[in-house]
Structure 1
C-alpha cells in the first residue's frame, strides 16, 4: 500500500476513542500498520481494530495509572509490531478536577494519578522507545500536551496543567538530545477538542466555544491530521516544536 506512512508501524495510546482512535484510522489509511491501546474500554479498542482491518496489528490493554505500565505497554506493542516501532503517539491522558479545598488525601491521590498517567507513563514509553529507535535508525515521537501547559488552567485543574507543562519540556529534551540519531519529537498543544473530555452540557459547551475565536472546538480528526503529518517525516526540522491547535484561543 502506498501513502505517506507506508511501511511504518505506530503505537497510539488512548486509541479506543477520541483523538487516538481518529489517529489510528488515519494512520492506517495513509499506509501505516497500527497498534491501538485501551483499558476499561477495551471493547472499543478491539472494535476499532476490526474496523481498521489488516493494517491494525492489534490492541494492548494497559492501565497507565499503574507504575511501570508505560514500559509494559511499549514492550507489548513492540512484540505485536515484530520488533520495530517507527512512530509513537502518546495521546492517553486524564483531566481530573482537584480543588485546593479537597482533603489532603484526595489532593495527593489526584495529583499522583494525573502525574502518573499524563507524565510518567509518557516518560516511560519514551524511555523505552528511544534506544529501540536509535538502534533502528530513528523514529517519530508525538506527545499530546495542551495549551494549559503554556497558559495554565483553571483553579481546579492545576495538576493537569503541571503535567502538560512537563510533557512539553520532556519533548524538547528528547528532540535536543537524540536528534542526531534520527529521533524526532514533537508536542501538540490543543485547546478544547470535541471529545468526551469536553463539556457535555449546553452551558459548559457554550462557555468553551465562546473563548475560541473561530467559534468551535477542534475536531479529533484535526489533531489526527497533524499527528500524521509529523509522523511522515515531511518536516523533521520541526523537531522539538510545539504545534498549537486551539482556534487562536491561546496565541503565543
Structure 2
C-alpha cells in the first residue's frame, strides 16, 4: 500500500480507543506500520490490531502511571518495529478532577498521578526515542496537549492544565534542540473531543457544545487527520508549533 506515510513506523500511545485508535487506523490506511498501546483495555487494543491487519505490528501493554513505564513501552515497541520507530504520537492522558478543597492526600496523589501520566511518561518516551531517531536520520513527535495548556482550565482541573502546559514546552524544546538532526516535534491543542473523556450526559454535552462556535465537539478522526498530516513531513517547517483544534472555542 502506498501513501503519504509509506515506509514509516509509528508508535501511538493510548490507542485502544478514541483519538489514538482513530490515528492507528488512519496511519495504517496511509501506508504506515503501527504499534498500538493499551493498559486496562488491552482486549480493545488487540482487537484493533486484528482489524487493522498486517500493517499493525502489535500492541504493547503499559501502565503509564508507573515510573519508567514510558521507557519500557518505547523499548518494547521498538523491538516490534525491528529497532526503528519514525513517528511517536503521545496521545495517552488522564483528566482527573482535583478540587482545591480535596484532602491533602487526594490533592497530592492526583497531582502526582496526572504529572506522571501526562508529562513524565511523555518525557520518558521522547527521551528514549531521541537517540534512535537521531541515529536513523530523524523522526517526528506529535504530542497531544490541550487548549487548557494555553488558556487554563476550570478550578477543579488545575493539575490537568498544568500538565498540558508542560507538554507544550517539552514539544517546543525538542523542536528547537534537535531540528538540525532531522527530529521534528509538534503539539496539538484540542478542546472537547467526542470520546469517553468528554461529558457523557445530555446536560454536559449541551454545555460543551454551547461554548464551541461551530456547535459541536471535535471528532477523533479530525485529530487523527492532523496527526497524519504532520507525520507525513509535508510541512516540516511547522516543527515546534501547536495546532489548535477546538472549533474556535479558544482563539489565540
Deviation, structure 1 residue 129: 0.8
1:155 partner SS: coil
Is 1:181 matched up with 2:176? no
Question: Number of paired residues?
Answer: 252
Could you tell me how far apart the structure 2 residues matched to 1:221 and 1:128 are?
28
Match of 1:150 in 2: 150
1:82 partner SS: coil
Offset from partner CA, 1:136-195 (integer Å, 9 cap, x none)? 000010000000000000000000000000000000000000000000000000000000
Could you tell me how far apart the structure 1 residues matched to 2:42 and 2:98 are?
27
Match of 1:133 in 2: 133
Gap runs ≥5 in structure 2 = none
Match of 2:114 in 1: 114
Match of 2:75 in 1: 75
Could you tell me how far apart the structure 2 residues matched to 1:104 and 1:87 are?
39
Match of 1:87 in 2: 87
Could you tell me how far apart the structure 1 residues matched to 2:247 and 2:129 are?
32
Match of 2:166 in 1: 166
Q: Root-mean-square deviation (CA), in Å?
A: 0.3
TM-score in terms of structure 1 length: 1.00
1:129 partner SS: helix
Gap runs ≥5 in structure 1 = none
Could you tell me how far apart the structure 1 residues matched to 2:6 and 2:41 are?
29
TM-score in terms of structure 2 length: 1.00
Could you tell me how far apart the structure 1 residues matched to 2:65 and 2:20 are?
18
Could you tell me how far apart the structure 1 residues matched to 2:12 and 2:60 are?
10
1:15 partner SS: coil
Deviation, structure 1 residue 45: 0.2
Could you tell me how far apart the structure 1 residues matched to 2:106 and 2:184 are?
37
Q: Which runs of 4+ in 1 moved over 4 A?
A: none
Could you tell me how far apart the structure 1 residues matched to 2:18 and 2:40 are?
15
1:121 partner SS: helix
Offset from partner CA, 1:75-102 (integer Å, 9 cap, x none)? 0000000000000000000000000000
